[in-house]
Amino acid sequence: AFGAAGQRCMALSVAIFVGEAKHFIADIVKEAKQLKVGCGFIEGVDVGPLITPEAKQRCERIIGQAIKEGATMELDGRNITVEGYENGNFVGPTILSNINVNNISYKEEIFGPVLVCLELDTLEEAIHLTNNNKYGNGCAIFTGSGASARKFTQEVEVGQVGINVPIPVPLPFFSFTGNRASIRGDINFYGKQGINFYTNLKTVTSNWQYKGADLGGVTMPLLGKHNITK
């Protein structure tokens, strides 16, 4: 959620904590506080600026609306000032919890350094929630259970799936396989399918006569000769 200041299609901005995993939220907050916000050209900076003032305003507006709709602010990255870049489009790492599927922070792609946390009791509920989302770009499961990982990969309806991998974008020789509202068109744009994406197909039909010169007349050609009787 914080890499590239959340401004990427694989931001992974929603985390679903299943069962006792909800206790990890406090640890994530602690780690997020250590991230350095600043100019991306400076050594040691973890979170750079948003791309435009409008992007910053939109991000902060969604955060504020999420709070009004019942979210809990675990870490607030608004109103941050970076020395030497006082007018920069900076938003610090922000973590929201107590989110439901009707909250604006869950429904909207924020494109900012915001982690949205949901809490559920079972893996089945987490899979069901994921499958009901209109987007299907990518998701990941973090687990020490092979059985849970297998169940997740078999049942989740998302194009790119990671197991203990935070950004499940496949290597270039595979296709970028996001689905549902996360893709436009019906074909992917790199990997093997990318060949078709960038290729104009050509079909050549030939008729080389072994004997005679029968080209079939005005009828569609048939494989072999057929006698049709009534």
Which residues does 100 contact at the CB level (< 8 Å), separation at least 6?
A: 70, 106, 118
Q: How far is the C-alpha of 160 from the C-alpha of 139, rounded, in Å?
A: 6
Q: What are the angstrom distances between the C-alpha of 99 and each of 38, 68, 116, 117?
A: 28, 11, 7, 6
Residue with tokens 């919890």: 97
Catalytic status, residue 59? no
Q: How far is the C-alpha of 56 from the C-alpha of 35, rounded, in Å?
A: 18
On whether the CB atoms of residues 159 and 183 are closer than 8 A, the answer is yes
**Integer distance in angstroms from the first to the last C-alpha of the chain?**
72
- Choosing from 9, 39, 59, 117, the catalytic residue is 9
- Region of 5 (left: φ > 0; alpha: ψ -120 to 50; beta: rest) is left
Which active-site residues does the annotation give?
A: 9
